[in-house]
Amino acid sequence: MQQQSRASQVSLPKEPVQRAWVALQRFGPALLDRVETELKAAGFPALEWYDVLWAIEREGPLRQRDLAGHMLIARYSISRLVDRMEEDGVVTRRECPEDGRGQMVHATPAGLNLRKAMWSVYGKAMREALAPLSEKEKLQLTAILTKLA
């Protein structure tokens, strides 16, 4: 959503459950949004593109199924996301040898370049977004969120 001149008047409730919930529902997405905005401002595509490319770069060509699993998004979303990325030339679909239904999604050289270019902005934005936290707090946050998975 982006532009949000007006300061967010967020008052947290009293009970711990609700406080945590509200914080999670509000500040998490707000952070995400800030970073996405920076990416967009730099002329890059959204984070999902990065996620796809990075997953493939780490683990090699992946099936759409696995991409969906990684990114926690619906099958049809992946299907269309890959459509767009393929159209843009950053990935290609190839047959899956051991499963006739499958589509192996490969990254193209252009895709690898894009990912690297995005990282220069993304990595910085991410670090800035989390800068208010100490190292210890970052680990605490991770630990707590992991419990919720």
Partner DNA sequence: GATACTTTGTTGCAAAAGCAACAAATATTA
Partner DNA sequence: TAATATTTGTTGCTTTTGCAACAAAGTATC
* Contacting residues toward DNA, per CB under 7 A: 1-2, 5-6, 40, 48, 63-65, 68, 73-84, 93, 96, 98-103
Rule CB under 8 A: is residue 14 a binding residue for a second copy? no
Indicate which of a second copy, DNA, none lies near residue 98 (CB less than 5 to 8 Å, by partner kind). DNA
Rule CB under 8 A: is residue 63 a binding residue for a second copy? no
- The token pair at 31 is 């952070």
Within 10 Å of residue 42's Cβ, how many Cβ atoms? 13
Choose, by CB under 8 A, the member of 42, 57, 60, 69 that binds a second copy.
Answer: 69
Rule CB under 8 A: is residue 140 a binding residue for a second copy? yes
Classify burial at 119, counting beta carbons within 10 Å of its beta carbon; exposed 0-12, middle 13-18, buried 19 or more.
middle
Residue numbers at the binding site for a second copy (CB under 8 A) = 1-4, 6-10, 12, 16-21, 23-33, 47, 65-66, 68-70, 72-74, 77, 126-127, 129-130, 132-133, 135, 137-142, 144-149
